[in-house]
Structure 1
């Protein structure tokens, strides 16, 4: 089981929107050096919605190559078409990903039975560990704990990223699934409390910019050291808020640009961070001990 601090990695791009291969290599190496426990490649933060299937598969494949066994790679392969999700998951398996992360189908708003049948179909089609991803604020559908428990009985479905920010949901899923089923927080603001309540880690936006601090915080929480975890979390708590002043990954891409890690590249319909938010985000980065590359 993968545990700890997991980065929902941005897909770096050049100003014209092309994938920036050099920056991707730089980010992967940095996360390995900083102690990040795993990488999610081409999830929501990786702009999965605006990469075509060929690009999607390429970024996963390249991330696996760059990681070179030093750190697990979880491939984002969710889609609101079951056949597309199967195709992307097959691609990730062929690329050598360690697991896949599949968001609940968005926009078409399936029923709980539809969610069950969708994920079951993908799990039966591709023999690779699969992590469910529930983020109703973006998908307009909420996978209930009882549906998660049904899916936990399906071979290959090994965990869930639960991003409602509802700690009682974490507790309920743990009660229904048991310790062998991985639960990851998908909400940085409540991740520390989620881990202390029984989650196995955090699939995080904040880790993109503060990997060492988030690794240390998750490790302390997993060890049950609530005081140390709270102390570490306080240092990055402003980032948990300001990295969502506009739709993710707009703020985190600006932050990484500010730090000199990536170029100014993002794809429409997302746009570069509005100037009115720059000062607050820069202040949060500095409060976390991060500095701007001159």
Structure 2
């Protein structure tokens, strides 16, 4: 379920949100909930100082990525404290199992992803067969990969009506996987090959991806149809096809589009809709990225 609020006008708001921020001080406060992830965007324009406090819980972990430069925070742990300056693409990680207290100084614009402990455990087990012991603390450290993913997530949160469940789930999976690989305190991964889908499950998964208009089928539905967990299915699909489900589906749409461009006189906008793209602009952008030329140029050639 998606919920969002632009707080530039005076509204009656809850004093503390689920991350401990003062909601009535936020100029942008967006949340997007899925089965295993919660995505946030928290933005404040003014230069005030405020305090964030959350008690320990079993909610899991939070990764935050700064979209802008200039934010400063002091994180307090017991009798110790550490100060961090956040530039664009700087990250921090919170473990909800620990009490958290921080003084926030200045304006900020963060996108954040909350991941459940069950998700972390399942991914670690299916990737390496072993659990991680937690995450290293990169507070204030720049991470270009998270920076790029944060830009995509920010656009997704701002334009929620255009985001497909499949894309959102895949984005969460990508963020979670990079978090584990880059910052997880885990044993070295083995070189054994990952799981593969049976031919029956591969066919079933591909049929379900193609069956629903605009790809609006969740990975959970496909995994259930194959009697697999969602994270196991994603890994097995990638091992079998060398593509994520979203990448595979985009390539099939482009294959269909090339057939229509080659053998029909349909307009680009009609082909875009017929192939499951939201509009001609989305179609042209994706076609250009995968094929190397815009669809109009490709058709003429």
TM-score by length of structure 2 reads 0.28
Q: More helix by proportion, 1 or 2?
A: 1
TM-score by length of structure 1 reads 0.28
Larger radius of gyration: 2
Q: More strand by proportion, 1 or 2?
A: 2
Answer 1 or 2: higher relative contact order, Cα 8 Å, separation at least 6. Answer: 1
